[in-house]
């Protein structure tokens, strides 16, 4: 073959490409279309403290997700026989570490919570910066949520413990049952629930455990 002379194959290349394109176009008609990404409900809670969030305290976000709801919502009992009363799921912040616990049976309230990070199917985002604690999670992965649930934000110096000694909560909702709708677009906050976190911490040493405001929102991502 002489150098530089195009072969028949090379000369036919455009035609071959065109045929392949037609075949390709024909085939794509039958190719499976990508599954559209299902949007998921995110629950976002933001709580603000009087002084910057401190490693000295435990911050509990306790939920009653049971259906039907308990009469009085998640109570601020951290010890004694009623500890963790009506808590079916909670997130705890201590020393910059977020943990979570789904309370499946009454006895499991005393189990150590598991780390709430990217390994948790419920985790979306969580941070504690300055005076702001922000938690975002996949609502539908807590449970199949009922039309509404209830929440309490409880702070303390000691963790929830199966002891008869009194472990007093520092801050908590005066009215323990704050009802939250779980439908997309739901929103509520402390001003709409005037009895929530209205307990004012007077001890200067405990201002970091004083929740002064909070918001709750449901949206899709």
DSSP string, 174-187: SS--EEEE-STT-E
**Residues in touch with Ca ion (CB under 5 A):** 171, 197, 199, 210-211
Helix (H) or strand (E) holding 97: strand 97-102
Of 93 and 211, the one with the shorter C-beta distance to Ca ion is 211
Q: Which is nearer to Ca ion, 116 or 173 (CB)?
A: 173
CB of 131 to Ca ion, least distance (A): 12
Q: How far is the CB of 165 from Ca ion (least distance, A)?
A: 24
CA distance 64 to 152: 9
Dihedral sign (CA 94, 100, 103, 104):
negative
Q: Identify which of residues 74 and 145 has a Cβ nearer to Ca ion in the complex.
A: 74
Rounded least distance, CB 115 to Ca ion, Å: 27
Rounded Cα–Cα distance for residues 31 and 191 (Å)? 53
Residue nearest to Ca ion (CB): 197
Q: How far is the CB of 184 from Ca ion (least distance, A)?
A: 29
Nearest-approach distance from CB 168 to Ca ion, in angstroms = 14
Q: Minimum distance between the CB of residue 164 and Ca ion, rounded to whole angstroms?
A: 27
For Ca ion, the closer CB: 184 or 200 = 200
**Nearest-angstrom CA–CA distance, 49 and 26:** 62
The DSSP output letter for 206 is G
CB atoms within 10 A of CB 101: 23
- Residue nearer to Ca ion on the CB measure, 122 or 199: 199
Distance CA 92, CA 155 (A): 9
DSSP 8: H
Q: Closer to Ca ion at the Cβ: 71 or 202?
A: 202
Residue pair 62/109 in contact (Cβ under 8 Å)? The answer is: no
Does residue 135 sit in helix, strand or coil? strand
């Amino acid at each position: 073959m002489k150098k530089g002379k195009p072969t028949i194959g090379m000369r036919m290349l455009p035609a071959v490409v065109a045929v392949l394109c037609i075949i390709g176009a024909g085939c794509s008609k039958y190719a499976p279309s990508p599954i559209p990404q299902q949007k998921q409900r995110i629950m976002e809670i933001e709580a603000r403290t009087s002084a910057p969030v401190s490693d000295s305290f435990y911050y509990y976000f306790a939920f009653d997700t049971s259906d039907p709801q308990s009469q009085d919502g998640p109570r601020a009992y951290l010890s004694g026989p009623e500890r963790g009363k009506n808590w079916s799921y909670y997130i705890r912040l201590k020393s910059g570490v977020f943990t979570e616990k789904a309370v499946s049976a009454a006895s499991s309230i005393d189990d150590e919570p598991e780390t709430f990070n990217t390994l948790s199917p419920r985790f979306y985002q969580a941070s504690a910066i300055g005076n702001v604690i922000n938690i975002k999670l996949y609502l539908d992965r807590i449970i199949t949520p009922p039309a509404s649930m209830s929440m309490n934000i409880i702070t303390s110096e000691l963790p929830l413990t199966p002891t008869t000694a009194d472990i007093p909560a520092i801050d908590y909702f005066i009215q323990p049952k704050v009802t939250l709708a779980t439908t997309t677009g739901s929103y509520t906050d402390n001003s709409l629930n005037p009895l929530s976190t209205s307990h004012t911490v007077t001890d200067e040493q405990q201002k970091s455990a004083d929740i002064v405001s909070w918001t709750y929102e449901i949206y899709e991502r």
